[in-house]
Amino acid sequence: MTLPESCDVVVVGAGPAGLAAAIECARHGAATVILDEQTGPGGQIYRGITTTPMQKREILGADYWHGATLVSALQSSKATHVPRASAFAVTRADGGGFEVGVSCDGAAALMGAGHVILATGALERPFPIPGWTLPGVITAGAAQILIKSAGLVPEGPVVLAGTGPLLYLVASQFARVGAAIDCLLDTTPPGRIRDAFPHAAAFLTSPYVAKGFALLRQARTSTRIVRGVERLEAIGVERLASVRYTVGGRATEIPAQALLLHQGVVPNVNLSNAIGCNHRWDDALRCFAPVVDAWGATSVSGITIAGDGAGIAGAQAAEARGTLAGLHALAALGRIDLGERDIRAANAKTRVARWMRGRAFVDALYLPSDAFRLPQGDTVVCRCEEITAQQVIATAKLGCPGPNQMKSFLRCGMGPCQGRLCGLTVTELIARERGVAPGEVGYYRLRFPIKPITLGELASLPQTTASTQAVVRMKAH
Amino acid sequence: MRSRMAREHDVAVIGGGLVGSAIAYGLARLGRRVCLYDEGDIAYRASRGNFGLVWVQGKGQGLAPYGGWTQRSVRRYPEFAALLREDTGIDVALEQPGGFHLCLSEAELAHRVDQLTRLVAQPGFERYAFDVLDRAALGERLPGLGPQVVGATYCRLDGHLNPLRLFRALHAAFLKRGGIYRPNAKVEAITSEGDAFALRTATGRVEAGQVVLTSGLGNATLAPQIGLRATVRPQRGMIVVLERVRRFLEYPLATLRQTDEGTVLIGDSQEEVGFDDTLATAVLATLASRAVQVFPFLRDARVNRAWAALRVMSPDGFPIYEQSAGAPGAFVATCHSGVTLAAAHALELAPRIAAGELGADLSPFLSERLNVQKAA
Amino acid sequence: MYKRLPDAAAAAPAVLVTIDGLAFAARAGDTVAAALLAAGYDACRTTPVTCAPRGPFCLMGVCFDCLAVIDGRPNQQTCLIPVRAGMRIERQQGAAAFGPAATSAPDSR
């Protein structure tokens, strides 16, 4: 697949937000390229939608199959979809616009873009429990991906653990395909309903309430649910063999071949962070999110963010926000004027409001407890470099002011995942040690490339006279 | 006149990078009550931008004593590393097998040999031997070397270590020796008050008997307050870091080394772009392309990250070590080779600061040399 | 252990690959990670730091635990790469090996 040399709008990510943004931009005649790492469009929520073997509609459900409409709209648009393409850098180009570094099938190139829309979505919040690095432990999202893209289910005993609506969705999807889940260990802290109560009214009049209750009902009938789990441990030598959980101070150990973990999703901030967009600490969701306005515009002019990458709000809101981001980009490029932009945005704005309603309740209800966000002892925090909670805490006690100093002391965050699975944990551990808010502690400072590219690929990118002079110097060392 | 005991610290070291923490450690080892002031987590922090070379080869053109100072540090490095290990249990992975400066063309090699020959011939230069190797001789020491490498100069004194571990060890050793570390405590002003100094930070006022400015680029604003000059400018350098790979390299090269952890660091670039520590893709591409010429098989290894940092450059590139004439007890120390000189800073410079006298042999590093008009 | 749902088993043609030298019939559309899991390997590598076994964890390209050697190239994110007929998949022991440290050269592109 050859990458166009330049275009008006580059959209990074082909989930609902990216698809909607690309469709909107292409509709108004902007030369639009949409990049995605997967082979087919759909992001994670509509993963595998063009190739899934699970064709019977009732298995993956109507919410999933809605994605097919979006994908088909993209396919009939003039946007260019580049699959298996990883955007590893976005820098300002001399003379305006941006240079987007893209690695596609092992070859890197720079693409010019007038405007960049990031739609990189969310990833699952780290869930650091003892033994979470054992083979056999995967995320609940991963289990969904295996069903959607390959029709694979784990064989028992299968334990599902954590908190959040996705847990119940996965339980119900397993039920629909006839795969057994032995036990659902619910770590939702008891009493959370009290914290969520102020938002209950909005929830009860939101689109989520009916879906929510239906999922809960189905989960209850298909699997054994244990509530109020305070502690969780994956046990095994070389691979998972059992799961130990604690309720009311009493521990129980059950055999397990697969443990599916989930405790919510958080924005994937690596690209927006490396670009230099401002981020803020979202205390309701205990994560960092980019600072954006109603259109998704960030603190960096020409960079807009749509979807869960701007703040968790779900697939339907993501689609509407993608449309808004597209309209914003079009106006910024002068393709449409502000008046037209506002007219065309009206429907999307209404949809955003509709799909945002009720989220505060869900967010408050399913916020993971401190015990599951702040590990201790030998629990691995940085999976890539195998740094434990105890090491992070001990270093924080030495007066380490933040995660970047921590990174230089311990190497945590220096592995290939670039902090995606440890960043929030490290920030919160330091915050607790220092007795300050996580927002004050900050997050890792990310740099390009935000996804690994080979040295050969980097070497193939354009050099300049200035760059050669900066490196090849015939003067004193 | 306040008594020594009433002052909060004997010495305030301002700036907790490699230079500051090495000096602070040296002072703490001598029994001084030292407080190390530092900025926050996101700051220019040249110390995080380190390659890790403990390097002699090529240094001192234009200031012969710098060659001697560097060699003194390198000679005492094993002792220094052992002290750190003893104090903290941390092994900084010092290896001194000698190092290579590779050349990718005959012109580069000729220039390099000429450069080194003139360097060691300078009057007063503490001479060392260096070898000139051709492609064939290099091939044995550096397996997998690319065909475009024409030759190299080799110096037995060169080596490398793990710079992050050095930094961590210095920090831990300093605390172990009773040092006090104050992060997030930017010093805004220093005033000389009789035989002590008053520091103003965001949280209040503190007194110290002596003050050592080691704030890198921050020295420029603080130094004049105590009658010192530290004209330093930022110089951007970028590094490309590869993922861990199985060991293939036993020696440090001037621009490429494999760390004790297996990662590979590739440098080095020099750009005058002011206070801009963002990455430039073209420079990374040049760094990468030279590295691929050196070891073609690394073409398939993945770049894990790249970073840019700002070196602290004096006008002639050499260190400035000075005590304030108008406010004795106030010192400034700045250099851009914080790793190589760490041993000298801890074991040679710190004792002189403690004694209140830098010594005649360090006078070449006074800032007054920068006033002198050099003949072309 | 993973099993293929009946809908999926019937749906698409088999794609023959080798895993550590043994032949395995994956399904068209599988990622290499899915093929490894379907073949019964829940660990695809050992870590460079402590030689701990790891397997695919997130399946969406962010955790970098699913790394394996594909056609002689180490550290490949198997959850992002679709299977191809004749593909050589090998579990990776420790850090990637290149050049003088590698035991065999990668297949040329």
pLDDT tens figures, A86-100: 999 999 998 889 999
CATH of the domain at B181: 3.50.50.60
pLDDT digits (tens, 9 = 90+) for B208-249: 999 999 998 888 889 999 999 888 999 999 999 999 999 999
Length of chain C measured in residues: 109
The pLDDT of residue A1: 61
Which whole number is the average pLDDT over B370-374?
70
B305 plus B171 within the same structural domain: no
B254 domain-assigned:
yes
Mind telling me how many Å the CA of A454 is from chain B's nearest CA? 4
Q: Domains along chain A?
A: 6-123+266-336 (3.50.50.60), 126-263 (3.50.50.60), 374-436 (1.10.10)
Cis peptide before B351 (omega within 30 of 0): no
ipTM confidence score: 0.95
Residue B328 sits in the same domain as residue B227: yes
Same domain for B135 and B183, yes or no, is no
Are residues A190 and A215 in contact, defined by beta-carbon separation less than 8 angstroms?
Answer: no
Count of domains observed in chain B: 3
Give the lowest-confidence range in A203-217, B155-169, B180-194, C3-17: A203-217
Interhelix angle A423-434/A403-410, rounded to 10 degrees, is 110
Residue A155: count of CB within 10 angstroms of its CB: 14
CB spacing of A402 vs B41 below 8 angstroms: yes
For residue B306, give the H/E element and its range: strand B302-313
A383 closest CA partner among A419, A339, A351, A336? A419
Q: What is the pLDDT of residues A236-250, one digit of tens each?
A: 999 999 999 999 999
- Count Cβ atoms within 10 A of the Cβ of residue B227 and give its class: 0-12 exposed, 13-18 middle, 19 or more buried: middle
| B197 and B252 inside one domain | no
Residues B244 and B301 in one domain: yes
Q: Please state the rounded mean pLDDT for residues B189-195.
A: 90
Measured between beta carbons, the chain B residues lying within 8 angstroms of C95 are 243-246, 262
Predicted local confidence at residue A193, as pLDDT: 82
HSE of A215 in the Cβ direction (CA atoms, 13 Å)?
Answer: 18
Q: Tokens at residue A142, please? A: 């991963």
| Distance (Å) from the alpha carbon of A422 to chain B's nearest alpha carbon | 16
CATH class of C6-93: alpha beta
- The residue ranking higher by pLDDT, B278 or B138, is B138
- Chain C residues touching chain A at CB-CB below 8 Å: 1-5, 7-9, 11-12, 27, 29-31, 34, 37-38, 42-43, 47, 49-50, 52-65, 75, 80, 82, 109
B227 and B350 housed in the same domain: yes
Is B295 domain-assigned? yes
How close A454 comes to chain C (CA, Å)?
11
Is pLDDT above 50 for A477?
Answer: no
Closest to A89 (Cα-Cα) out of A81, A100, A104: A100
Distances (CA, A) of B132 to A434, B57, B144, B145: 54, 12, 19, 16
A180 touches chain C (CB under 8 A): no
B324 lies in the same domain as B201: yes
User: Residue A269 has which token pair?
Assistant: 């901030």
Compute the nearest-CA separation of C5 from chain A (Å). 5
Length of chain B: 376
User: Are B322 and B333 within one domain?
Assistant: yes
Predicted local confidence at residue C109, as pLDDT = 45
Domain that holds residue B240: 233-313
What's the N-to-C CA distance of chain A in angstroms? Answer: 43
Mean pLDDT of chain A: 94
Residue A476's pLDDT band, with cuts at 50, 70 and 90, is very low
Size of interface A-B (CB pairs under 8 A): 156
What subunits make at least 3 CB pairs under 8 angstroms with A? B, C
Q: What percent of chain B has pLDDT over 90?
A: 81
Reported as a single tens digit per residue, the pLDDT across B278-303 is 888 999 999 999 999 999 999 999 99
Q: Does residue B70 lie in a domain region?
A: no
- The closest CB to that of C64, out of A54, A84, A416, belongs to A416
pLDDT-derived band at A37 (thresholds 50, 70, 90) equals very high
Domain boundaries defined on chain C: 6-93
Residues of chain C with pLDDT > 70: what percent? 94
Among the partner residues A135, A145, A154, nearest to C2 by beta-carbon distance: A154
Which chain B residues have a beta carbon less than 8 Å from that of C98?
A: 245-246, 248, 297-298, 300-301
* Neighboring chain C residues of B247 at a CB cutoff of 8 Å: 101
- The residue ranking higher by pLDDT, A209 or B113, is B113
Q: What three-state secondary structure class fits A335? A: coil
Euclidean distance between CA atoms B203 and B215, whole angstroms: 19
Q: To the nearest whole number, what is the mean pLDDT of chain B?
A: 92
Q: What radius of gyration do chain B's Cα atoms show?
A: 21
User: Which of A350, A288, A470 is closest to B267 using CA atoms?
Assistant: A470
- What is the SS3 assignment for A111-175? EEEEEEEECCCEEECCCCCCCCCCCCEEEHHHHHHHHHHHCEEECCCEEEEEECHHHHHHHHHHH
3-state secondary structure (DSSP) of residue A289:
strand
List, in sequence order, the alpha helices (H) in A242-314. Answer: 270-275
- Residue A241 forms contact with C (CB below 8 Å): no
Beta bridge partners of A90: A100
Computed on alpha carbons and rounded to an integer, the radius of gyration of chain C in Å comes to 14
Global pTM reads 0.93
Torsion sign (Cα): A209, A210, A213, A219: negative
A268 versus C10: the higher-pLDDT residue is A268
Distance (Å) of CA A290 to CA A277, A414, B101, C5: 7, 22, 44, 40
Integer Cα distance of A331 and A337 in angstroms: 6
Q: Look at residue B123 and tell me if it is in a domain.
A: yes
Selected for mutation to probe chain B from C98, C103, C107, C109 (highest B CB count within 10 Å) is C98
Tokens describing residue A307: 């979807």
**What is the nearest CA distance from B231 to chain C, expressed in angstroms?**
44
Cα–chain-centroid distance for residue B322? 17
Q: Which residues of C8-38 are buried (b: 16+ CB within 10 A; e: fewer)?
A: beebbeebebebeeeebebbebbbbbbbbbb
Q: Do C63 and A420 touch (CB under 8 A)?
A: yes
Q: How confident is the model at residue B376 (pLDDT cuts 50, 70, 90)?
A: very low
Q: Decide: helix, strand or coil at residue A264.
A: coil
Whole-number pLDDT of residue B39: 81
Of the listed ranges A24-33, A131-140, A188-197, the one predicted with least confidence: A188-197
Contact in structure between A17 and A321 (CB atoms under 8 Å): yes
Rounded distance, CA A410 to CA A390, Å? 12
Supply the pLDDT for residue B219. 86
Q: How would residue C104 be classed by pLDDT, with cut points 50, 70 and 90?
A: low
* Shared-domain flag, residues B255 and B304: yes
CB B44 within 8 A of CB B21: no
pLDDT above 90: residue A254: yes
